Structure 1
Amino acid sequence: MKKLALAAALSLVATGAFAGGVVTTVAPIEVVEDTTSSASGILVPLLALILIAAAVAAND
């Protein structure tokens, strides 16, 4: 009977030891890049020039 109790106690202790270790998770780094084109800086002045030219042509 003592051997059975000892075996049961050791099996309970051993399962806790082999259950697993500390699991660390690292979140992946998300890289966000700007997708603006180089033509966006010229778009507003170009539209303003077209509107001014249309206004001058309409006055003649």
Structure 2
Amino acid sequence: MKKLATLALALGLTATTAVAGGYEAPVVAQEPVVAEGASSSNAAILIPLLLLVGIAVASND
């Protein structure tokens, strides 16, 4: 019984040191930076224009 108690004590002491960690600085999330500026091309208008040009070319053949 004494050996079992000694073994349990040794395992308990090593387990607590194995789990213990050092100081870890908290991670601070930064706010995303949004670049504001005029876009030179707008994909919302570009795709329909290309579709219309494709239909016009196909209908001329």
- Provide TM-score, normalisation by structure 1: 0.42
- Provide TM-score, normalisation by structure 2: 0.41
Q: Which has the larger radius of gyration?
A: 1
